[in-house]
Amino acid sequence: MSEIQLTINGQAIKAAEGETILETARANGIDIPTLCHQEGVTPTGACRMCLVELDGTNKLLPSCVTRAADGMVIRTDTEKLKRYRRTILELLFAERNHTCAVCVSNGHCELQSQAQAHKIDHVNFDYRNPQLIVDLSHERFGIDHNRCILCGRCVRVCDEIEGAHTRDMRNRGIATLIITDFDQSWGEASSCTNCGKCVEVCPTGALFIKGLGAGEMVKNHELVPGLVNTREVVHAKN
**Binds another protein by CB under 8 A, chosen from 51, 72, 161, 223:** 51
- x-marked contacts with another protein along 3-22 as a string, rule CB under 8 A: --------------------
Q: How many Å separate Cα 118 from the centre of its chain?
A: 17
Alpha-carbon span 193 to 164, nearest angstrom: 7
Residues whose CB is less than 8 angstroms from the CB of residue 27 and which lie 6 or more positions away in sequence, other chains included: 15, 19
**Binds another protein by CB under 8 A, chosen from 88, 136, 195, 228:** 88
Which residues inside 164-203 make contact with another protein, applying CB under 8 A? 168-169, 171-176
Alpha-carbon span 211 to 142, nearest angstrom: 10
Alpha-carbon span 206 to 98, nearest angstrom: 10
Taking the alpha carbons of 189, 195, 196, 201 in that order, is the dihedral positive or negative?
A: negative
Which residues inside 112-131 make contact with another protein, applying CB under 8 A? 124-126, 128
Closer to another protein by Cβ: residue 30 or 65: 65
Q: Is 84 in the site for another protein (CB under 8 A)?
A: yes
Alpha-carbon span 34 to 53, nearest angstrom: 15
Which secondary structure element, helix H or strand E, spans residue 231, and what is its range?
A: helix 223-237
The upper half-sphere exposure of residue 88, i.e. CA atoms within 13 Å in the direction of its Cβ, equals 21
Rounded to a whole number of angstroms, the minimum distance from the CB of residue 25 to another protein is 17
Among 42-50, 107-115, 140-148, 218-226, which window interacts with another protein (CB under 8 A)?
Answer: 42-50
**Binds another protein by CB under 8 A, chosen from 150, 201, 223, 224:** 150
Give the number of residues written for the chain: 238
Closer to another protein by Cβ: residue 29 or 173: 173
Q: Is 79 in the site for another protein (CB under 8 A)?
A: no
User: Where does this chain bind another protein (CB under 8 A)?
Assistant: 44-48, 51, 60, 62, 65-66, 83-84, 87-88, 91-92, 94-95, 124-126, 128, 149-150, 152, 168-169, 171-176
